[in-house]
Structures are given as C-alpha cells and as structure tokens.
Amino acid sequence: MDQWITGIPGRIPGHVIFVENPEHADYAKTLAGEGSTVLVLNGDKADEGIIPVSGSFDAAGEELLVDGTLSLEIQDYVAIPFVNLVGVTVVRITTEEDWQAFFDDAEEAIRSGYFVQQLTEVNAVLAERRLLSRASEDNLLLTRLHIAWDGSVRTGPYGTKIGKVGDSLTDIRVRAVSLRPESAVAAVYYPWDIQDSLEAKPWIPRYLAALDAWKFVPREDRANTSLVGFGISLYGATLNDGLPPADFPFILKKATDHTLLDTKTGRLFKIGTDAAAIIEAVSNMRDIKAAARVLAPALKVSAGVAEGAARAVVTHFEQLGIDIIGTH
C-alpha cells in the first residue's frame, strides 16, 4: 500500500496494480509480474491472486479497507491541521489549495522551525512522496499502475492515461517511458506548476526527511526540541549555505543539549555544542575548508584550528559509519 500511495519503488519486488472495477481483475493479473500485487476494489475474496479492498480510495474523510484488516483514512492536505489522526491516514495533495498549503508549510518550517504536528505523526502517509522528493525517473512504470472504472490504465490514482484494458504491458511501457514524475498527478492538476515550484525549492526533500525525523523524537520531548537547519542555526548559516541532502543525519537541539540522529538506522549520538556546529556547517557546505571559514568566528578560533576540528569530527563519524559530508 505504501508503494501505491507514495509511488516510491522497492517496497515490494514488483509493481502494485489498483483495480477499481472487479471485471478488470483478470486483465490486471496479466500485467502483474513476479512479486507484484493486485488490489481490487470490491474484489472476490476467494480469488487468491488478488487482495480485495473496500470503501473509497478517493473521497476525503472516507476509509479504504485493505484485505479486511488495514484501514486507511483519506484526507486532503488542507484539512490535515484540523484532523486528529486516529489511524493510518493518506494525505492527498490534489488541488491548487493543497499544493499551495504544502509549499507554505514547508517554507514556514524552514523559516521558523514550526511543523504541522499531524504531518510528523507516524500514522501520516504523504501521498506522491516520489514526486515531492524529486526522485529518479527510473522504474516509474513498474512502481504502480491504476486501472480506472472505465478501463483506463493510469500511472497512479491521479496519473496520466497510458493505456486501456486489453493493452499489453509492453505497449503500456512504451507510452510511459517518456513520462516525468509530474505525470503522477496530471489527471487532477496541471503538473508543470508543480515542477517549477519543486525546482525552485531544492530543499523540499530535506523538509520531507525532517518530517520523518520528528517521528524519532518522543512526543513529550517535541515542544522543547528543535531541528537544526529549520528556524535555527548553530553557526549563523545563511540561505546561500543551503541544506544537507535528504538522507544526511539531523541535529536535535534541546536546551543546551545536542544529539545527532541518523534516520537511516535510528541511532542517536550525544554531541557537544562545537561538534554540532561543525556538523551543521560541513553538512550544509559539503566542503571542510569552506565550512571552516564560517565556523571560525562562531567557534572563536582561527580558520586553521576550525578546519582541523572539522576534519576530526568528520573522521570520527566516518568510523562510526555516519556520513556527514557526502563522501560516500
């Protein structure tokens, strides 16, 4: 389900196919390769080749029940700040208002450090994550297919039409090969506006990673915890310094304490104030000499001393398997 919602490949070995009309279930099976999953709305529970789902996949406030056990609530992005997330919630971005709110919230987080609390909850699953993260276009087709009620084959629940029931997977692949990630929402919103906005905000993937990073912070600690790089800098970073890549570790600041969080493994490391400033600068700039020049005033040392300290910190965390500069 995560692969169908987000468009991110690799959750399952094959691709996921969602079928709105049970009459198209047999056709969907012809498109399913080894390791693929076929989800059929109101599908036959006795059919072992599919996973039956019920409810609604595209109506805000409604629920989609998967295989009789997993319940997904569907919500529009603009409604999220006003909703209590009881269970797993799919957060859709399908309208101009949704997209504007998403970009406004991202910019607010960068500027002030304020995050919409519901988006940081484990239960929140942001739809079209692949598009938002500007992921590679490789394997776009094999990630998911969506067969609408009328037999149209799309790249996702709101995606571009790339075929119809009866078409071979080869023909569908040919039509999809030139599509960009923005095609995932082309049926509901003109995608080029999104493309321009994402390209103008190359830090969006880091913001998305920050939403995930909050999930490692106990709820009772969140009010007193800040994510460095979002409304706060330890060395006086400017916008020109940029932000680290999405998969780099995060620095959590709570009062005078600093902790390095590696979201890849969930490991936490207590670090000193100077080490935290060094990690922030090195991760932002990905160049030790450049980082040393801006660190020196903040650490009240010479550029040479700052460079030596930065190299020592980078080496220390490399030995721990944590990349803070992008050398791997």
Let me know: does 12 contact 3? Beta carbons within 8 Å.
yes
Give the tens place of pLDDT for each residue, 255-291: 999 999 999 999 999 999 999 999 999 999 999 999 9
Sign, CA torsion 36/42/46/47? negative
Question: What pLDDT is stored for residue 141 in this prediction?
Answer: 57
Other C-beta atoms lying within 10 Å of the C-beta of residue 255: 8
From 130, 76, 100, 124, select the one nearest 246 (Cα to Cα). 130
Q: Long-range contacts of range 50-56, CB-CB < 8 Å, 24 or more positions apart?
A: 50/19, 50/25, 53/18
Instruction: Decide: pTM greater than 0.75.
Output: yes
Would you list the domain boundaries of the chain?
Answer: 2-200, 219-319
Beta bridge partners of 260: 251, 269
Burial 296-312 (b: 16+ CB within 10 A, else e): bebbebeeeebbebbbe
From first to last of the 328 residues of the chain, give the pLDDT tens digit: 999 999 888 888 889 999 999 999 999 999 998 899 999 999 999 999 999 999 999 999 999 999 999 999 999 999 999 999 989 999 999 999 999 999 999 999 999 999 999 999 999 999 999 889 876 555 455 789 999 999 999 999 999 999 999 999 999 988 888 887 788 888 888 767 888 888 899 999 999 999 999 999 999 999 999 999 999 999 999 877 888 999 999 999 999 999 999 999 999 999 999 999 999 999 999 999 999 999 999 999 999 999 999 999 999 999 999 999 986 5
Q: How many CB atoms lie within 10 A of CB 122?
A: 10
Report the distance separating Cα 13 and Cα 33, nearest Å. Answer: 9
CA triple 318-321-325, angle to 5 deg: 45
Helix (H, G, I), strand (E, B), or coil: what is residue 259? strand
